[in-house]
Structure 1
């Protein structure tokens, strides 16, 4: 299984982790990261990448992700929809196949950041054909641990015996703590695929965009391209 904080319009590394595990726990109980990826991501514009950010209520520095509400006094929905539909992907090969679902996503007035992030994740999972079950950590119970201990407690509660971790956790994840809970550790070692981006020359590829970028450019071939990069 894997555990990861919710991301708005998640990138391909996030989807790769989803595709490689048999249960995905959305870690919504930890502190919200300002200038993190829970409420923003990049899409490929005509020139430089475009950063789409969902404004959130100020709250306290210790606010958990699940407590974070969206600041709808700002016109972020129309801005994000216009960026995707007009500036970034209007002429992409597979934009029209997903245009209606994108429009419906931004027609809804979202209040809770995690709900929005999960909606964008599920939309991408459907489009890619990823069927891994997802559950929120807050639905599994209360966990007192931090970092490695927290991951171990969540895995144990979910009945996992292998934890799939991203490379970013190598500096803090303690395999011995996981082992004490009877949980093995595997590293994702994600390799970013290279594909044709419709507004760029083949030798001018821009990685680490939201996974929508691959979807709008490759359509039904997106999951094969993502999996092929692993080899």
Structure 2
């Protein structure tokens, strides 16, 4: 069963009228990920949150960067006995209320003078009052709440709920199997996967593999030089929805 917090997020109006037909992205859930993550979601018809794979320490599942004093600042959600020997959906949070209080203060210090601080603060707050039992669910909820704010619809599912029978397959083979189970003939991956997955291998199995790459995104923050690749939180703090839509569309797939 999906947490109740997800249910109101299921039927929204997708910004992009024409995502790639019969396409899927399969990606680990990250907490308030960067803009490029949302560009990937924006480009496909189906999204599978890969929550039954091993947790990655010092990755982006439970942490991200915001702007503080003109520089990157890393925030980290505390976890109980996090280990790369556990699956993402097996890892629980600890000291939740203490973290929320601290993070709320960090956001205020960092963004109180940003043009969209108040409304984005409320969006973020709505994530932490939601229902979630593990870091995977919290990360997914953070993504869905941002999508709701941006009026993006996602046809989404969790690999642990819908595709558990594919566990144990090699990485590429599992992605191909899930794509076929969804009747998708196009699989889109972040550009960083070029060294892991090969177009010829996917093509042998009837799947067109594409890699998404962000454009040279830039926007005004404060008076500092632009700091790229921060959490979507930063993008929303400094841009109205119309501008965020423009930024969402600044990518190429090849």
Q: TM-score scaled to structure 2, two decimals?
A: 0.82
Which runs of 5 or more structure 1 residues have no equivalent in the other structure? none
The question of whether the paired residues in 1 share the 8 Å contact of 2:66 and 2:73 is answered with yes
Q: Does 1:104 align with 2:154?
A: no
The question of whether the paired residues in 2 share the 8 Å contact of 1:149 and 1:177 is answered with no
Aligned pairs, how many? 227
Specify which of 15, 25, 29 is matched with residue 6 of structure 1: 29
Offset at residue 83 of structure 1 (A): 1.0
Specify which of 154, 168, 178 is matched with residue 154 of structure 1: 178
CA RMSD of aligned residues (A): 1.9
SS in 2 for 1:93: coil
Distance 1:148 1:108 in 2: 34
Specify which of 231, 241, 249 is matched with residue 210 of structure 1: 231
Distance 1:17 1:73 in 2: 29
What are the within-5 Å matches in structure 2 for residues 185-196 of structure 1?
185-196=209-220
Give the equivalent residue in structure 2 for 1:21: 44
Specify which of 200, 203, 224 is matched with residue 176 of structure 1: 200
Which runs of 5 or more structure 2 residues have no equivalent in the other structure? 1-23
Distance 1:83 1:110 in 2: 22
The question of whether the paired residues in 2 share the 8 Å contact of 1:193 and 1:225 is answered with no
Specify which of 188, 191, 203 is matched with residue 164 of structure 1: 188
Distance 2:193 2:96 in 1: 36
Q: Are residues 76 and 17 of structure 1, via their aligned partners in 2, closer, same or farther at CA, if it must alter by over 3 Å?
A: same
Give the equivalent residue in structure 2 for 1:132: 154
Offset at residue 101 of structure 1 (A): 3.0
Distance 1:106 1:121 in 2: 12
The question of whether the paired residues in 2 share the 8 Å contact of 1:8 and 1:37 is answered with yes
Give the equivalent residue in structure 2 for 1:75: 98
Higher strand share: 2
Specify which of 48, 52, 56 is matched with residue 79 of structure 2: 56
Q: Are residues 108 and 186 of structure 1, via their aligned partners in 2, closer, same or farther at CA, if it must alter by over 3 Å?
A: closer
Q: Are residues 40 and 60 of structure 1, via their aligned partners in 2, closer, same or farther at CA, if it must alter by over 3 Å?
A: closer
Distance 1:174 1:51 in 2: 33
The question of whether the paired residues in 2 share the 8 Å contact of 1:4 and 1:27 is answered with yes
Q: TM-score scaled to structure 1, two decimals?
A: 0.90
Offset at residue 102 of structure 1 (A): 2.4
Distance 1:4 1:122 in 2: 14
Q: Could you report, residue by residue, the CA deviation over 1:46-94 in whole angstroms, capped at 9, with x for unpaired residues?
A: 232111111112154310111111122782111112111x111111111
